[in-house]
Structure 1
Amino acid sequence: MKLITTLLLCSGLLLTLTQGEEAQEIDCNDEAVFQAVDASLKKLNARLQSGNQFVLYRVTKRAKMDGSATFYSFNYQIKEGNCSAQRGLAWQDCDFKDSEEAATGECTATMGKKENKFFIVTQTCKITPGKGPIVTEEYHCASCVHPISADNPDLEPVLKHAIEYFNNNTGHSHLFALREVKSAQGQVVGGLNFDIIYTIVQTNCSKERFPSLRGDCVALPNGDGGECRGNAFLDTDNKIEDFTQSCDLHPGDDLVEALPKPCPGCPRDIPVDSPELKEVLGHSIAQLNTENDHPFYFKIDTVKKATSQVVAGTNYVIEFIARETKCSKESNTELTEDCEIKHLGQSLDCNANVYMRPWENKVIPTVKCQALDKTIPIRRRPPGFSPFRSAKVQETKAGTTRLLRACEYKGRLSKAGAEPAPERQAESSQVKQ
């Protein structure tokens, strides 16, 4: 997953935002919702230097804040479209890319409105690539504090200095090494300011024998650990001019207790692209097509999650999306790899449970599926109509589930790759609740 962060206004404006009145949820039919999302999505697409534009899928959260200025905050989901970023089309003229390589994402944005024009205050997008590469980049305004990726090479000299600083200024008997960067922020102020939170771990290299950390110093599994916060200022020559650090250490026994204990017989996660799942998925889709009375075969499009558990055999639990193919059961005796997915065909959200005992050639598959809600593909709604329809979406956090009233965008083209069609009145659609 990649992160795109856009920060266009600085601390003064954000302070104004926080001093406003309490946020009020706004309805999908409020014209400002679409205008605000449109402006933020255009900004995201404008920064793409290659690949395809993103197309709006739905807005899940939206709120309006009135204070000394008017601000809109919202979350929206996007999917990769079939229009090139360099083609010059508006994202409304693109359909969703009909490919396994299509990327998806979710953005959180705050927009300001002045003289009927929207401008971005903050925007953060988490993009999940498909099988193909997605080109992303980060943009930050001058003097704004902005998040930095943990693997950003600009952090390397600062982190190296931070570890050396800790080892030279503590009385511990052993040298410590970097374990993980938890978060990092930067700011351009006549140089570069860095604020980094990171964890450290004791190595097997004692200070008595080793004057400094070496590449062959190994982290001790039961060694002491800690969490640190470092602040560094680099001048215009990228030299560290000032550095401060604070660390909280805890003994190794605490680390051991905090680690998850082995659990024989407990379910374990399996990577969704693991070769181990090939046979299991084959049994799952075969069972689905046997039980399903649909005239066309379905094939697995996306595997969302998979686990296995050893129980006098192996029990697999898999969540996947199955999509209707162009292969009819009347003309084909079985599903083959050549069966293509039907673009406007039915999609199923499935849960499979497959119990296997290979030494007995025993396979017991159970598959339960439900149809995914479908949007009638249209391009745009004429003036006076909302471009959204209301839909209920489940959100799960920390073991709790709640329903969100989402705004699903309805202005898609009827076929992937088609040229923009003349405007027509939107058709009504039903949403399963």
Structure 2
Amino acid sequence: MKLIAILFLCSRLLPSLTQEGVSQKIDCNDEDLFQAVDAALKKYNSRNQSGNQFVLYRVTEGTKIVGSEIFYSFKYQIKEGNCSVQSGLTWQDCDFKDAEEAGTGECTATVGKRGTKKFSVATQTCKITPGNGPVVKAEYTCVGCVHPISTDNPELQPILKHAMEHFNNNTGHSHLFALEEVKTAQRQVVAGLNFEVTYTIVQTNCSKKHFPLLTPECKSLQDGDAGECLHSAFVDIKQRIADFSQKCDLYPREDLVKPLPENCPGCPQNIPIDSPELTEALGHAITKLNTDNSHPFYFKIDTVKKATSQVVGGMKYFIEFIARETACSKESNTELTANCEVKPVGQSLNCNANVYMRPWENKVEPTVNCRALEMITMMRRPPGFSPFRSVQVQETKEGTTRFLNCEYKGRPSGAGAESAPGSKAESSHLAQ
């Protein structure tokens, strides 16, 4: 029955090829060419019951014949991706496997177009060359998983350098900022490396008017603005930063607090921001914030900036902290718990809390005032509207077959494949 169905489909689609039709030129900007290749590759991947999906590399030859029906006849090259055929993902969601491990192939297909968006595969044959097999790596039991790395790892240096240059070149602040501290870092091995880094930045004494770039003369200002950033970067196999995103929360620093007098009973006293003495007061402060705030999600304290205590017929705490939105909604959770994780991209608040406590009377009076931090999100623009990068076009004498080099550019250039000519110019401003 399956064979009969295939023959019936072919009998419906193929007659137009034998009829007199007009051959038209096609190039890498033909949107229907990509749709036809997409239909053919999805058809191929759907036939496999195990293993990984294949990802489009480039289209090398193509003809468009317009008759009573429209047909695309083309050749395209594919490479093995890192998504299994049973993952539920499409091939566009996959990256290439490492070049030595990945299988490669070349397919010849004929795809008919009916209506405006319906594409049907009439014929297709693929020749697959298996890869060399997986490379044994013993550092982690899960090679493709996200793993934490040291904040002073040398691999982070070009990423952080690029991050600061991008921030200073794309913000309207009057002064340059410098890196203060790397807080966390993690890495994932894909067809290249994915990095995610959180770090703090500080305003320097170098104005953009007089300093185009950071120099050793640029020193951080204790009373200047500061911020915290989350930076994601993809480094391809050629050690280039091929893609990145940056999100920074800026907050102004208050004027320098004058040193508090020592040996002054009843005067405010500075407390270390990690002091266990603050635990209870912080708990009352965040509870008060979440109770008074109408936001649908809970906030949790992320960073304590400074704190003081004062003995006044009890204990009074003055605390400044940063609170961040979590993934725990108030609708689904009765209270904030330790399992509530901060959202990677969520609201941030700069808060000042005043917590008055008289434990012997079981009396607690917290007040909290917060303001939203300025959120600056900068991301690299996605590829152009055409999913292909056009390289060369060559026609045969008959004028029907065209040799193309339409490299698929819906993924970072260089991830397991050779870069097409022209791609260097497109990403050179990202490379170190």
TM over 0.5: no
Could you tell me the TM-score, scaled by structure 2's length? Answer: 0.36
Structure with larger Rg: 2
- What TM-score, normalized by structure 1, do the two folds share? 0.36
